[in-house]
Structure 1
Amino acid sequence: MAKLFHLSEVIDIDVLQNIQNHFANATGLAVVAVDYTGVPVTEYSNFSNFCKLIREDPTCKGRCFYSDAHGGLEAARYGKPHIYVCHAGLVDFAIPIVVKGQYLGSIMAGQIKVKDKIDIEDKRLKDTTDRWRKNPKILSAYEEVPLIPYENVNAAANMMYIVANHIVEKGLASIYQDELNKKNMELLKQTKIRSELEKALKNAELKALQSQLNPHFLFNVLNTIGRLALVEGAVKTEETVYSFSEMLRYTLKKSTKMVTLEDAINYIEKYLSIQQVRFPDRLKYSIDIPDHVLDIKMPFMTLQPFVENAVNHGIEPKKEGGSVNIKGQIVGEDLVIEIEDNGVGMSENEIKMILGQETEHDIRTNSTGIGIKNVNNMLINCFGDEYGIDIVSKKDKGTTVKIKIPRINNSRRVLNV
């Protein structure tokens, strides 16, 4: 659908007023710019005493406005200056202001008599009133209206038509330039987000590659430790080694892929079981994810940074420990995953820093190598601006992170699935 303009959007009214004043002084014509309804948008220049007086009568004033509107519409219909006779018998002309086929208004000029007998009498408005002729003062002002050769009126109309077209083109160019600048800024913003996302993914890939120096050797060692623990009756050690082995396997295989929620939750469960070994009496956790959402896909390592933060920065500093609860639910067409802890919490400034001003140091403090800001950008880039991260936290109360992704993935970015 084509954009609808208003006259003040296309033309700088102050500039038009200045041009209008100089034009009126040079030609002796009265000039005003009106919108498409005939209502003035500039102050009158060189307005005749006769027209001032006649507009004191409400009926005549209405005829004057109608005359301006009619003249402007006729000019728009012809697509060129339109010279006509107003309801009071004075000669006026209208310069149409048309943008992309849309009539915005006109520049009206005239309020004079012409010396020549011209063929515009048939262009006189038929809907007139003569009540003003009963007022001697108005009649006297009518006699003072100047006589100007028709060719001068015609030349003035064509000159103003050229000027009006020029300032309209200039105004349109300014509008289109502003729109282009906005689009460029949006493109730069999107490019920056994509660049940060690529950087985060490459960091994750690099860390995975660094762990792959000899994966077979690594897994063989872990399996040997697990079997040794089993032989020695160290059940907890065996479970921990097994969990760590599965975490590594997940990291090495999935580092550049979209993963199912089921895979992500399995990884998180292994991670939390290991952390519970570290803090046996200080860490509790629960995971409540409905089975019917487990096949929903999300970018690799979406959940891990928030679970790590909950444990390392929320629960660990708290002397008595705490709990981490993870749950998921369908809200409308989206899946919302909540990661809630009752740890030490954060201030509003800390939340803003995490989401908006994260530094390289902050990213390095996450063992995943993927910072929280980058996870947010990654979700927005994949699914759209309405998706991403929301963090609510209170000091000494805890933190809740909400992660929203579409139930039916329609990724805007093609990932290596």
Structure 2
Amino acid sequence: METFDNTPFQQNQDIIQPVLENLSNFYRLWIKYVSCSGTYVITPINKQQCNFCRLIRNHPVGYQRCRETARRCVYLDPHRHHLFPCHAGLYVLAVPLQGERGPIGALATGEIRIDDGTVDTGEVLQKVADLGLNRERLSRYYEEVPVKKREEILLLGETLYAISNCFIRLGSAQAKVRQAEIEKALLESELRALSSQINPHFLFNALNTIQMFSYLEGARKTPDIINALSNLLRARLSVNDLLTSLRDELEAVNSLLFIQKTRFEDRLQVVIDIPDALLDARVPALSLQSLVENALIHGLEPYEGIGRLELQAEVRGRDLIFHVRDNGVGMTPEELAKITGRLNRKEIFEEAGEIGMANVQKRCLALFGEGYGIRIKSEKNRGTEVTIRIPFTTGDGRRNEDFIGR
């Protein structure tokens, strides 16, 4: 099952939002995109849900029933639109959405009274009587619900079905483009690896030998540094997947920081604030290493005072966001604009994929699409903050529902 975050509706939300907005205003209905879990993901900005539905959804049991109705919209026959009564007696128009791997949500509009004389106010109030809501308010709010002719709603259903097909086809085309970009990046990576091939077993054996002799000769710090270097090289030379666990990425980051703290001596303070609950999250391989290394080399190495580096992670909505901050030399507005422009250019896919911010940005855009990747804030002599936003997924490729909706 695909989640909202890898569907054409997330990738093109800036396009579909005004489409739903205009249709909602024209039909005086609340048209929304519903996720597979029954959550309203894209809703009209300038139009609110009707008072009748809002009153019912404010009740815990009513909310769950509304959510189950929304979930039902997702799993109907995806080859047509559907009109059916909800648990509270109003009608729901639903267009189920089908991706390549299964349901990806639905376009739906509720809050409809059909002008066919089949349902009266008393029958509707009886359906929600067990919620114990104010009957007079419910009756008044029910009379406010727009009354539509069945033919008008069915015509809207055909329109939504056509719109959904357009976006699904657009998403399929975009996915093929991204896949081609990923394959090209992988081919370039394989070519670079071939031209600068190194035997990992020889390297690790040599480092182990050096570590053993330094220990026998009484060098106290050298074995630890060599061990950290071995761990770091092992992480970089054994990358087989585009994504790795945050746990493994942090292990490599800590090895990098151990080596750099030895070199910086007392000039470097490091703060890592990442909850253990996030350690199973999937992140682009070598991404945090690259950003931390960039902060050390370009931000703190030229800095004459006590350097401070912070690595923080947070969950925001359905995304995982990392912040890498330093109090180093920073950048002028011109320098920042140059780097930001380079990151935002689509030609970045044609550049050599060195391990660095450009490479991390390229992989984020190829893997996750627009809206993800790197953002930079910096002031000269005030430091730099690099933020990377990625979808929050765990080892099985699905959302971590423990955090969504908090």
User: Structure 1-normalised TM-score?
Assistant: 0.48
Q: Which has the higher contact order (CA 8 A, sep 6+)?
A: 2
Rg (Cα) greater in structure: 1
